[in-house]
């Protein structure tokens, strides 16, 4: 059976969702685990071994300034291209307060990637419901490229404790 994971997180150090010492310490308290980082090849091998194709999401980029997000997006596009047999594409979380500049970055990534790319909205993480007009520029880019948008609902263990 072939599996398609519509939303997963990175296993590499560069893409790992928990970034700070505090968040990594909280991982142990919340999930009783510690991070185990894979190389890009190891992450791809794991996906292949389980016959999974996925869409990856950094998860942590939604609050970063554009100058920090662009190199991460370039890394993601390169990684997806190198392992397109198991990494189908990317969900990008871009700070909605970046407005048109953020939407332009989404557009750039869609055009630069040979794989699937679209935007992921975390309303609870950003304090703006998915229906908030702040997301309009991002929705317009997705619509122009005929891409769906991933809207996360509910809460995660982030910030637990």
Q: What is the DSSP letter of 37?
A: -
User: What domain range is 95 assigned to?
Assistant: 3-152
Looking at the domain assignment, is residue 35 inside a domain? yes
Is 13 part of any domain?
yes
pTM to 2 decimal places: 0.90
CATH of the domain at 105: 3.20.20.140
Strands 87-92 and 150-152: unpaired
Structure-block tokens of residue 11: 């296993």
In a domain, 88, yes or no: yes
Percent of the chain's residues with pLDDT above 70: 94
Q: Report the C-alpha gap between 75 and 91 in whole angstroms.
A: 13
Count of domains forming the chain: 1
Sign for the CA dihedral angle at 4, 83, 151, 15 comes to positive
Residues 83-96 pLDDT 10s? 999 999 999 999 99
Mean pLDDT of 3-30: 82
Please say whether the beta carbons of 53 and 88 come within 8 A: yes
User: What pLDDT, in 10s, does the model give residues 41-92?
Assistant: 999 999 999 999 999 999 889 999 999 999 999 999 999 999 999 999 999 9
Is residue 20 scored above 60 in pLDDT? yes
136-154: pLDDT as tens digits: 999 999 999 999 999 998 7
Is 159 a member of any domain? no
Give the pLDDT confidence score for residue 5 in this predicted structure: 83
DSSP state of 158: T
What does the CA dihedral 95, 130, 88, 31 come to, rounded to 10 degrees? 80
How many CA atoms, within 13 angstroms, populate the side-chain half-sphere of residue 113? 29
């Amino acid at each position: 059976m072939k599996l398609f994971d519509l939303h997963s997180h990175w296993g590499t150090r560069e893409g790992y969702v928990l970034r700070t010492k505090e968040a990594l310490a909280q991982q142990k308290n919340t999930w009783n685990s510690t991070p185990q980082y894979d190389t890009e090849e190891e992450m791809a091998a794991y996906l292949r071994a389980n016959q999974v194709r996925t869409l990856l999401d950094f998860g942590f980029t939604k609050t970063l300034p554009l100058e920090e997000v662009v190199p991460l997006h370039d890394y993601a596009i390169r990684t997806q291209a190198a392992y397109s047999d198991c990494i189908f594409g990317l969900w990008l979380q871009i700070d909605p307060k970046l407005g048109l500049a953020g939407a332009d970055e989404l557009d750039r990534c869609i055009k630069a990637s040979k794989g699937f790319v679209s935007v992921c909205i975390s309303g609870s993480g950003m304090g703006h419901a998915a229906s908030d007009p702040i997301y309009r520029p991002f929705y317009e880019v997705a619509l122009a490229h005929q891409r769906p948008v991933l809207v996360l609902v509910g809460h995660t263990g982030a910030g637990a404790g």
